[in-house]
Amino acid sequence: MGSDVHLIIVGGDDDTLKRAIARIEELESRWSRFRSDSEVSALNASAGRPVPVSADTRLVVARAVEAWRLTGGSFDPTLLDDLLRVGYDRSFEQLNDSSDLRDVFARRRTAVASGCTDIVVDDSTVTLPIGLAFDAGGIGKGLAADLVAAELMADGVAGACVNIGGDLRVIGESPERCGWTLAIEHPYSTTPIALVGLAAGAIATSSVLRRVWTRDGRTRHHLIDPATGEPSESDLGLASVVAGEAWTAEVLAKAALLRGTSRAFDLLDATTAALVVDREGRVSATDSLSAFVGGHPLPTAIEFDLHEELQ
């Protein structure tokens, strides 16, 4: 997953916190595509054959297939070849303009045209079709936040906030005992776009402004458009979604960003809220977001110089 982690627990002790950290590290060791000994790497190396994997890995693959169907393919966990081709071939902090692409997978878009259709998850194994590579990526962050938050509550804490790379899940009591207040932040603004109040639930933000690198003098980012196999050219720069679970929020945020301003909210139901910011800084939100922001008006625009920030 290659992300920063922020944990807050209410009513636990140091041992509880250590167990939560160890659990996140365990999930990282199973799901990271940057670790050659991870279960995800084993799946990709053995496409076409059933691979025995943990219940955690069977769950993340099953959730990813569910997310692919939920979004009509806007979320696609089978784009690893394209990520490698555009230069995201190592953890983000190691990327630079001079790094060489690792020829780990050939580009096989015709082989994966069916997306997740032929992925098989059974009681003990996962089978990827030949020619397909799986990346837990963002959905792994969200699902890990959900799992760890639930496990902390089962471990006896009164409340927990688990933030894994911006996929944030809260449950139970906050330190103030009056619900959780969470900021939706813009990477180039010192002021939050919105302060969201939750008793329990999740927020995830997807952006093409933060994880940016250059390859052959071109600015690249990690959000691949499944229709083209190239970094998205959406007119949106950021999308945030408020939902019941972090994995769902992550998937819908990514789908909203890819769909662009005119269709950003068309996959959301009445229980899900969202806001988006376009590349000019204009802010749009669903009507349902007002229930989470306490009546405070949202800004209509964020002032920033995108060209200057990307230098």
Residues 205 and 115 in one domain: no
pLDDT > 70? residue 43: yes
**Residue keyed to tokens 């995800």:** 40
Within-domain flag for 207: yes
CA distance 226 to 207: 16
Within-domain flag for 28: no
Residues 191 and 289 in one domain: yes
Q: Which of 82, 111, 135 is the last residue of a domain?
A: 135
| Amino acid at position 102, single letter | R
Within-domain flag for 238: yes
Q: Which of 78, 106, 135 is the last residue of a domain?
A: 135
Within-domain flag for 248: yes
Residues 205 and 299 in one domain: yes
pLDDT digits (tens, 9 = 90+) for 191-244: 899 999 999 999 999 988 765 435 555 544 467 777 776 777 889 999 999 999
Residues 82 and 200 in one domain: no
Q: What is the CATH number of the domain that holds 212?
A: 3.10.520.10
Alpha-carbon separation of residue 285 from 217, 264, 292 (angstroms): 35, 10, 12
Domain carrying residue 280: 179-309
pLDDT for 95 equals 42
Q: Which residues pair with 6 in a beta bridge?
A: 163
Give the closest residue to 20 by CA, choosing from 135, 198, 138, 154: 154
50-54, 119-123, 222-226, 243-247: least confident range: 222-226
Within-domain flag for 285: yes
| Host H or E run for residue 40 | helix 39-45
pLDDT band at 311 (very low <50, low <70, confident <90, very high): very low
pLDDT band at 168 (very low <50, low <70, confident <90, very high): very high
Q: How many domains does the chain have?
A: 2
pLDDT for 83 equals 59
pLDDT band at 87 (very low <50, low <70, confident <90, very high): low
Q: Which of 74, 101, 135 is the last residue of a domain?
A: 135
Residues 188 and 290 in one domain: yes
Q: What is the CATH number of the domain that holds 89?
A: 1.10.3980.10
Q: Which residues pair with 240 in a beta bridge?
A: 205, 275
